[in-house]
Amino acid sequence: MAYNDDSHILSWIRDIPFNPPSPSQPHHRKRTPSDSEQLASPPCSQESRRANLGVEMPSLSALAVAEDGVEVAPLQISDKRIPHSLIALSRNISNVVGVVPKYLEAEIAKLNERNDSPYTDFGSHVFLDSEKTYLPHLAPTIELAAVQLIVAGAADACRNQFDESGWNTTVHAPLLYLVFYGKECRGTQLHRFQACTRAGVQPAYLINNAQGKKVHFVFYVDAQYDSDPQPHQLINKIRPILKDTSIDHSSQASLCAHPISVKLLGDKVDELEFIPGIIVHGDQWFFVASTYSRSTNKTILWYSRSCFGSTDALLWTFKAIASIQHLRAWSDEILWRWYKQHLPAAHASLCSTNTSMT
């Protein structure tokens, strides 16, 4: 089930609009772009993008040699530039052991006794107590029927050649709902996801005059549900100081108060070694991550050549759910903890700057 055709990933990256700098418009990096956890679906054809945007498409080599540009590279553990923490997360995501909740083992075993082919590959190694793999509060209870429904929806989407919107509605959003909420209603969860197909990236976060490529989903933190009230209070104090009142890289109203981008918070970014993401190509889910080096002023976008999950099979749909749970755990244990640690200093710095300008 591990696919190694990365042509569609590179096609997605090549589809990012890029405007080379002119003498009257020197290029520079205003901020390093980085999104906490983003999901993007397959792009439209390059021809339609050209027609819609009226710009020339970039080559990967142009981005790689541009000042403060972007290099694209496969995620291989032999590459010494990859942080050890990123390698560890990548291994967790690619793991095939313990990807199905233990409480579903008996139900699946009964189905397996009927020699039902979708269940014959559920060996004992695929079951593991969720709390042994993820943070307990990040592993909501899911039902087998809900996962089966996603697989059926993916088959329908493939058979009837659904467009991006159809895949998002029928397959991708329901899978993410299981990851974040399980069989429960959306309530007071700290970590959430949101569809944001129309949310653009603010110019201050773009590299070398590039136009932002929209994503279809983002993971975000709703700080009002954190056990510590201070982060939410500080965010509410910071937003009025900002020109666009947005705490993240997007000016979309539904995201302005919720941390997605982490570069807003100043000069401690080296403590956050990478930013993970996901590219979705129909059935297949791929892990990507970006790193930034101050010594070279370069961003590297690392991509996995093999999918970590696929909704064309029941077991691999569970695999996708389990892998995304690892990303949620990373967001809770690493990103959100880092974010909260530096919020007070960011607030003080912004207040100081605002005072000096008045």
Q: What is the model's pLDDT at position 45?
A: 33
User: How is the chain split into domains, by residue range?
Assistant: 7-353
* Contact predicate 320/309, CB 8 Å: yes
Q: What is the model's pLDDT at position 146?
A: 96
- Cα–Cα distance between 314 and 126 in angstroms, integer? 12
Residue linked to tokens 């990236």: 201
Residue 4 tokens, joined:
């190694």
In three-state secondary structure terms, 189 is coil
Q: What is the model's pLDDT at position 22?
A: 31
Helix axes 336-356, 230-238, angle to 10 degrees: 40
Q: To 5 degrees, how large is the angle CA 267–CA 271–CA 274?
A: 105
From the first residue on, what is the mean pLDDT of each consecutive set of 10 residues in the chain (358 residues)? 57 48 33 35 32 37 64 91 94 90 90 74 81 62 95 96 92 94 87 81 65 75 94 93 82 82 34 83 91 83 92 95 90 90 89 66
Q: What is the model's pLDDT at position 63?
A: 57
